[in-house]
Structure 1
């Protein structure tokens, strides 16, 4: 993401491109959920979403590494599920309910990466729309 994109995100203006990308990723996730339904482990949904994104020719990076710094010192690293189109952080879950800690996890990824928008998608729901959270770095 370029500096202009980050500045727009700070003002809450994410732009049409990222909104279209978000819509496309949610559509791919809905296709996975329609095919599999709830009840599988997170890894099954992650692999399935990767395949659906490939079929739709939506570029993504699986399991990107994040360097974690404390007061300027590298103290560790983490991973999140995927980065889509070098713009959108996507974290997947298969849990009974999304908890505040799950949302905080995505916000931490956004802070560490500088990307303005993340999707938290819980596949363990009857209707996928109930399992999607769109999180914006403020």
Structure 2
């Protein structure tokens, strides 16, 4: 089933609400990742976990250990956190992943919040480089 990127993002947000309402804050990032991936799979999405994201430098592909937490339907990057608060470096990390992967949309989700709506950030890159 083909989904538009905004529809995918809506499904991810809805799934994140469900996972957070069932588990609450305080768990490890890996627990939220597994549950969110499962929930998205139930909704008909293809979810790739811990997908390698190489760096291209002067035409050379360099595997530097970077990984996308989740990639949904080959289009939407999800970066998960379980931290006290999101910091500018988290946003910069997601922007870098968008540029490296030549994708345009990511969701940065911090599950370690009392209300999940306060932990979700949409990060867009208008023109991949």
**TM-score with structure 2 setting the length:** 0.90
Q: Which of 35, 38, 49 lines up with 2:25 in the alignment?
A: 38
User: In the TM superposition, what is the alpha-carbon distance from 1:41 to its structure 2 partner?
Assistant: 0.6
Partner Cα distance (1:134, 1:96) in 2:
19
Q: Which of 18, 27, 43 lines up with 2:14 in the alignment?
A: 27
SS at match of 2:61: strand
* Structure 1, unaligned runs of 5 or more: 1-15
What residue in structure 2 maps to residue 96 of structure 1? 84
Deviations 1:7-39 (A, max 9, x none): xxxxxxxxx921111001110011000000000
User: In the TM superposition, what is the alpha-carbon distance from 1:75 to its structure 2 partner?
Assistant: 3.5
In the TM superposition, 1:1-138 aligns within 5 A as 17-77=4-64, 78-138=66-126
User: In the TM superposition, what is the alpha-carbon distance from 1:63 to its structure 2 partner?
Assistant: 1.2
Number of residue pairs matched by the alignment: 123
Partner Cα distance (1:121, 1:31) in 2:
13
Q: Which structure: greater helix fraction?
A: 1
Deviations 1:41-82 (A, max 9, x none): 101100111111122222111111111123333343311101
Cα RMSD after superposing both structures: 1.4
* Structure 2, unaligned runs of 5 or more: none
Partner Cα distance (2:47, 2:22) in 1:
21
Structure 1 stretches of at least 4 aligned residues deviating more than 4 Å after TM superposition: none
Partner Cα distance (2:11, 2:39) in 1:
11
